[in-house]
Each structure stands twice: as structure tokens, then as C-alpha cells.
Structure 1
């Protein structure tokens, strides 16, 4: 006996109809396939046969959608999908509200051609969800805000690094990346389980009343140097300094807890010392971002004297090519966020002292960076820096191109920019009539008709 209604694929239907065409009985095919007997009769009757040469090709009529027709015709929904993909390609992905607004504009254009005799004045939210179900190509994604300049970078700095790695035959242990990050993670809302009907669900949060910067450096081999922690002020309590649990961790002060060019020079001295302690051969490549705190004549001179090849990333490209940003800092921030949540849960105290911040930062640094060298290795490898991989570099350069849309969806020829449409409207619709043609006055030849009768034949005798 056939399966429940509608629970079969087009391939199974085509296979069943093929068996019927080859001589099997309808009852036998219905028993051995998920196609119900009555459906099999109906589909076989609806199938059309066309002749191609000496062979007979059976054309199966695809099953139609049950229920009332959608408010928008299929071709209009397909155009809407193209528009959604095109907006994603240009960096303006649409949400539910934007899609509904555009769909309602199309719905109003239908007028007398609507698919329902008694239609609604506008498309409700339910239409949107059914539209999503009808087009599985569409899905929900988190949007990553990105500025225009960060989406138009070039790979000149990356090729410079690749050249240095090859020319100096650098090993993974001699290729380092250094960057700074804030101790406090960015605030994020999260979904929790609450009592149904709750109107205001809130939570305590741990927050420091100061800014603290954590500087990290890792190699392509996974080696992590002790962190540099920058706190605000010029003096620090001994108990705060004692909270640093990682050996040789450096703590320093700045006016507001941010890094500056002077502190970066001090870190270069620390970096040279660490290279000597770990007996790492020179020269080494040090990859930093394009911040002004990393680039000045004194810093470059200090790097040359220390056997360091200082290379900066292309401007606005840290999100694409900096291993620390790509693969290391995210688990570090997640661990810090978890520790802050545990603190407020256990103590009900949302305040964070410098000692607390230093202890939490060191614990998270040790667990996610020092004890997990594979994160750094994956960061260098994933962006194509080490081992050098031009294919991965080019892929990263195109990472945000076309908004991440794959294939050719959203590239239909009828899609036009608003400026182009405006120009066409100026040229074809909003036009003025031509200026009147003004011809020069000509001297007119006249005939005196006063007191006389004149005929055309008399013109030959007029002067």
C-alpha cells in the first residue's frame, strides 16, 4: 500500500511511473513504492508523452502546491529573491521588515492581477514566513558590520611578508604576530530561559571602571610570549602586580590604559629578550597592524638593531589577515566573559578591581593561548601567511566580496542601481519638449489688390 499523502519525492514518482510504463501493474507499483494507488492513476494520466526520434520520452507533470495560491505570483517571488541576493552583494542585506516592505510594494502593483479574488490590503508577517519556506535558498545569518575601507583592501603587505618568509627561509618559530586587545569583552545580549509572560528579563553584569589592555604575541609554531598588561595610572599596588600568574608577565601603566608608541618600544626590548631566552634564531618577522603606535623611525631602528623584520598589515585588513584577530582573541574573550559571569554569580559583586582583572586576564590567556598553541597555528595557516599559500590569501581578499553570496543569484540583468534608474528617468521620462525653431524673417512679395480684381495668371505681369 502506498505511503501517506505527499510523502514522496519527485524521483520516486518518476521511478514509479517508469515501472508502470514498462508494464508493471498499478497495484504492484503502489505496494512497492511510496506512491498511493489513486495518485499513481492520476499522475500516469496527467503524464504526457512526446516522441523524439525513435524513442518515447515520458514527461512527468510536477505536483502542484496544495492550498490557495501565494499572494505574489511565482515569477514575482523569484524576482524578490534575486533582489534580496543583490542587496546582500552590495553590502545591504535585508531583514524581515525590509523584505516585507518591498513585497508589499510589489503586492500593490498587482492591482487587478492579484492571485486571490478577495485579497488583503497588505501582506502580513505570516506571508513572510511562508515565503521563506517556499524558498529554502534563503536563510537567517548574523550580520557583521564592516566599513567600506575594510572591504576594499589590497594584498601588497601580504605579498611582502610572503617574500620575506621565502628569502630568509624562515621557520614557523621565527614568524610572530603581535596585537593589543581590550580586557573587557563587548557587551552582547543573549537568549536565556525565563518564565513565560515575563515582561522584563535582566541580569547583573561585571564591569570594570577602568580600561585595561592586554598585548599578546604568538608565532606560527604556536609559541605564545608572556602578555603585556597595560593599566591606567603611574603606580600600582603590589597586590595587583602579584595577581599576574603567568611567569615573566609584564605590567605597565599609561594615562588611560591604552597602548602608545613609547610602550611599544619598551615591548620591542622585551620581545628581543624573549627571543634570546628561547634561543630563537634571527632575523624574525614581526607582524603588526597599521596603527601609528607601531610605526615611527625610532621603532624601525630598534627593530633593525634587534634583528626584527617589522611588517605591517595592509590598512584596514586586520579582520582578514591578522592571526590573533582571526583565531586567537575570540576564545580569549569568551573565557574572560565566562570568568566575569562566574564572579558575579558567586559573589553578587559586579565591581572589578585591577587585581581581579589581571588575574582573570592571566587565567584566560594561559588557558586559551598558551595551552592551546593550535589556535595560533590555525590562525597563520588559515589566512595563508605560514606556510605561504597564495590561494588562501586571494580567498581571504575576496572574503567579503559580493556579501558572501555564492553562485550567480542576485546578478540578474534587470537589476539596476537607483542612480542608473534616475539617469534613465532623466533621459527618457522627465523630458521637456524641443525648443521652438526660429527661422530668420524673409522679405515678403506682395500684390496690391486694393480696388482691383486679381487672378493668379496676372502674377506674371506684376513687377
Structure 2
């Protein structure tokens, strides 16, 4: 009807032709034109809430979404119902509003959308603050200016890693109604790690794989991209020795020709196993600046995380296609490289690299490229009282002032932080700095000199398998969380799996406990002789804090 109305009023088409073309009754269209029916007013009765009241509801929804606590469809319906009851526009016992109301509400506010929220860990939410990001860009600007590489994108690189599993997550499928749809997948197997690297002009290095095992088998690299290399590790994850081998045997040979005074900037997230004196000495020898990103900010500041690892979800599609093409067969560790390489070639294109470096503000250098809404969770978590923007500016007087107070009462109230005794000193962990600078090297050397280098050890891998007592998040190709794993080792043995676990001839579920003083984790029954039942009665103290208290 709206299209027919426009054809007659704007395009000067006849009423009969417009009605025939749009499939609407002629008399209805004539009534709209001759009787002056308001086209802006929708058909049907007035909405339950007025425009200004719905505007307050929309502001509340938008604010919670920025804070990292978005509302579901059910939450919005419940909140709207409570609002209508509060305004005495709906009886107390009338029940919740319907899904039909929600659909019409969304149509009246096109700025809202229903989407699947992405996971954001509390560590990332707190770490991604405006102050941290500004400090990072100030230091990055200083390094780029000092070594004269701000306008040399071919010398600015980023390296990161992601894991692949043989068990894929099925995509949405089509099938008959009433039938439970199942997609056959392979069994969960060992993780295979991919180290990816590229620069700001779109040049990408061939992939570097890390397979679980002790002996190399040529079948593991079947179907690999030309120039690819690999290493073996106990866990299938990278560690300090493997990262050093990657730098020496894979990264340096692929560097472009440069002048004797030119330096190369390599950005990466700073897992502690990737920070060592031998690695720094190797980098300085080849004039490579190792710049460690601030911890828990790679989802905002790292180009590979921001724009390249997510397109690798085509690996899931490749696994599904492989299962359909070969019924009765499963994906083995010898197929992972072939499937991952195909996804690698599709995702790691020059334009994706260029856009990723631009989106993270690295090249062209522009700190304003970072989405300011990413700082909202950290900003609001630091507050003792949450308050929506414009909360004190009522749209209308009377009911709107009461409505603003109603929405304020529905805001989450952060609890007062608990006062803990002073934490014991932990190893120095650089973040947001170039570790090849002399001042940072001196701090790292001091850590080694003090014998506190347990957290900076080249053999510590990123993801040893632990028991179900404390499940780890599965790292997939869509998200790289290596910087989140740095705090998750046992504070006694500094490992993910206890030493005595591999000596058992039966399946053992490893229980973990977190110290209430230093917040570090400990393997129960291995690194601490106590078990779960022993620590249920009161606060738990690790052996370090117990010795300090004594």
C-alpha cells in the first residue's frame, strides 16, 4: 500500500495502474488518497507504551549492551512487562507481553537488532581500558618514530597462533520438520597449532604448524601450502623453543631485503614462554623489534585476531564437506594440515591483512581507529554505581522522571571489592612494550638473576591438557586466547599438568583450587597433598601463602 501511495503521489501514476501493479484494492487506495489518511501512523491501535516511554526502554537496553551485559529477547519482554505494570498500564496478574509485541517493538526501533553475542572474558573486559590502550599507542608511536618505520608497512609484522581440532562444529543444516537433525563428526583428538604471520602491506608467510608427538611423520604435512614448516611438541601447542625455531628458521628467511640500518617490528601477544633472553638476543642480532601487546587485549589490538582468524571458520565447513564426501570415514591428524591450508589460502588474503592492520590503528598509525565502545565494559566495571547516559535528563516530566528511577533500579550494582592481604610478588611480565629495548632487557635479566624465572621458561607450552576438575576453554580457530592462559598454570609446579599425572596407569581427574589470598591456582593431591574435601570447610591458602603467614 505504501508503494502504491508513492507511485500515485510522487510518480503521478494513475490510481488504477498503481493498484494493479502493487496488488492492492483500488477503492482502499482511493480512500487513502482522497480522505487524507496519515501514512506515518501504522495500522491498528496505539502501542502499550508511548514513544517517550519506549525511548527510555531503548536507552536502557543500549546501555547494558555497551557494558557487556546485553538483554535477551525474554529479558526485554520481562522488562517491558514490568515497565507497563509500574506505569499502571497493565494489570499485575496479566502475564508477560507476547512475542508479537516484541516483533512490533523491534520494527518501531530499527537501531536495535537481535544477534548472537560474542564471548568476552572478565579478564579481557577489565584489561581493555582507555588508559591501557592509550599507553600502548604512545609506546608504539615512540618505537615507530625511533626506528623510522612508521611509513614502512613492509617492515611491520604480526604473529599469532590458533588451534585446530579434528572434531568440527556443524553449521546450520536443512532437514524435515519433526526430525532431530544430527551431523556425524570425528572424535576429539589432539590440538594442532598454526602460527600465522604477515605484514601491513598484505605479505603473508607460509603457515607454520605444531603437531602433538615426538617423531615427525611426513604424512602430517600432506597438502600443505608450499614453504610451510612444522615442529613437534608434547601438547600440540607452541612453546618458547618452538617460537625461537619459528623465528630463526621460518620468519627471518622470509624477511624482505632491507637496508643495513632498517629494523623490523614484530607484534605478538606476550605469553611468558615467548619472552626469554636467548629469544631477545636472536632478535637484536637480526634487528628485529619484539613488541609485546598488553595482556588480554589481543581481541582489540592484534590484527590477526581482529580480522583474520575469524574467517578461518571455513575450516569447519571444509571438515563438514570432507565428512559428507567420504561417508564412514573420519578426519585424522593427517588430514588437518590439508584442510587448514585450504582455509588458510581463502582467509589470509592481502586485502584482509591490510584491513586488519588499519582496523587496529597500526598502519596507517591512527589510535582513533579503535572502537570506543570496546572501553565501556572496563569503564563501568570500575564504577561503584552504574548510571545510564542522560539518566537525569527526563524526556518528559512526571511519569518520565519516575520511569528513569525505575530503569535505574534495574541496573546491576557492582559489589564492593573485597580487601585482600598484599599479594606475594610475581615475576615481571612485560606488556605493551618492546622487550628488545635495553631498559626492558635489564628488568628481564633481573628476573633471571633473582632465580624467579619459572614463569619465563621456554619449555612452558600454551595449553597442556588438564583434568575435568577445572575445564579449560577449547581454543579454536575463531579465537586466539593465548594471552589468557598466562595466569592459569599451577603456582607450585608452574605447569598445566602435574608431573605425576603421566606416571599413572589409569584415568585421573585433576582437581584445582584457587588461593583466596594470591588468587593463583594449585593442583590438589599432586602439588598440595590436600584434596577437595579437605578445603571445603574454610578459605584455601596455597603453600606459598601459608609459609608467608608463618
Matched, 1:287 2:267: yes
Task: Pick from 83, 102, 106 the counterpart of residue 132 of structure 1.
Answer: 106
Matched, 1:177 2:158: yes
Q: Is contact 1:343-1:349 (8 Å) kept?
A: no
Task: Pick from 231, 244, 248 the counterpart of residue 252 of structure 1.
Answer: 231
User: Aligned pair in 2 of structure 1 residues 189, 105: CA closer, same or farther (>3 Å)?
Assistant: farther
1:251 match: secondary structure = strand
User: Aligned pair in 2 of structure 1 residues 246, 302: CA closer, same or farther (>3 Å)?
Assistant: same
Q: CA deviation at 1:262?
A: 1.6
Q: Give per-residue Cα distances to partners, 1:369-401, cap 9 Å, x unaligned.
A: 2xx222212211222212222332xx34x1424
2:408 match: secondary structure = coil
**Residues of 1 paired with 2:2 and 2:352: CA distance?**
51
Q: Is contact 1:172-1:386 (8 Å) kept?
A: yes
Q: Give per-residue Cα distances to partners, 1:31-81, cap 9 Å, x unaligned.
A: xx99522237xx8xxxxxxxxxxxxxxxxxx96554333334444333322
User: Aligned pair in 2 of structure 1 residues 373, 120: CA closer, same or farther (>3 Å)?
Assistant: same
Task: Pick from 363, 367, 386 the counterpart of residue 386 of structure 1.
Answer: 363
Q: CA deviation at 1:259?
A: 0.8
Q: Is contact 1:212-1:229 (8 Å) kept?
A: yes
Q: Give per-residue Cα distances to partners, 1:272-299, cap 9 Å, x unaligned.
A: 64146x4345421111112212222232
2:204 match: 224
1:36 match: secondary structure = helix
Task: Pick from 283, 290, 297 the counterpart of residue 310 of structure 1.
Answer: 290
Q: Is contact 1:208-1:352 (8 Å) kept?
A: no
How many residue pairs get aligned? The number is: 365
TM-score by length of 1: 0.69
Matched, 1:209 2:189: yes
Query: Root-mean-square deviation (CA), in Å?
Result: 3.6
**Residues of 2 paired with 1:421 and 1:218: CA distance?**
44
Q: Is contact 1:177-1:323 (8 Å) kept?
A: yes
2:314 match: 335
Q: Give per-residue Cα distances to partners, 1:316-337, cap 9 Å, x unaligned.
A: 1111121111222222x23322
Matched, 1:416 2:408: yes
User: Over alpha carbons, which structure has the higher Rg?
Assistant: 1
**Residues of 1 paired with 2:224 and 2:3: CA distance?**
64
**Residues of 2 paired with 1:234 and 1:421: CA distance?**
52
Q: CA deviation at 1:226?
A: 2.3
Matched, 1:400 2:378: no
Matched, 1:105 2:102: no
Q: Is contact 1:182-1:213 (8 Å) kept?
A: yes
1:400 match: secondary structure = helix
TM-score by length of 2: 0.59
Task: Pick from 104, 111, 119 the counterpart of residue 145 of structure 1.
Answer: 119
Matched, 1:265 2:248: no
Aligned pairs (5 A) from 1:345-364:
345-349=324-328, 351-364=330-343
Q: Is contact 2:166-2:336 (8 Å) kept?
A: no
Structure 1 unaligned regions, length at least 5: 14-32, 44-61, 424-463
**Residues of 2 paired with 1:253 and 1:422: CA distance?**
46
Q: Give per-residue Cα distances to partners, 1:158-195, cap 9 Å, x unaligned.
A: 33233222332222221111111112399656433222
Matched, 1:96 2:73: yes
User: Aligned pair in 2 of structure 1 residues 390, 125: CA closer, same or farther (>3 Å)?
Assistant: closer
1:285 match: secondary structure = strand
User: Aligned pair in 2 of structure 1 residues 272, 99: CA closer, same or farther (>3 Å)?
Assistant: closer
**Residues of 2 paired with 1:101 and 1:165: CA distance?**
52
User: Aligned pair in 2 of structure 1 residues 67, 227: CA closer, same or farther (>3 Å)?
Assistant: closer
Q: Is contact 1:232-1:256 (8 Å) kept?
A: yes
Matched, 1:87 2:84: no
User: Aligned pair in 2 of structure 1 residues 254, 6: CA closer, same or farther (>3 Å)?
Assistant: closer
Q: CA deviation at 1:222?
A: 1.6
Q: Give per-residue Cα distances to partners, 1:192-242, cap 9 Å, x unaligned.
A: 3222333x112122455111001011111222222221111111323334x
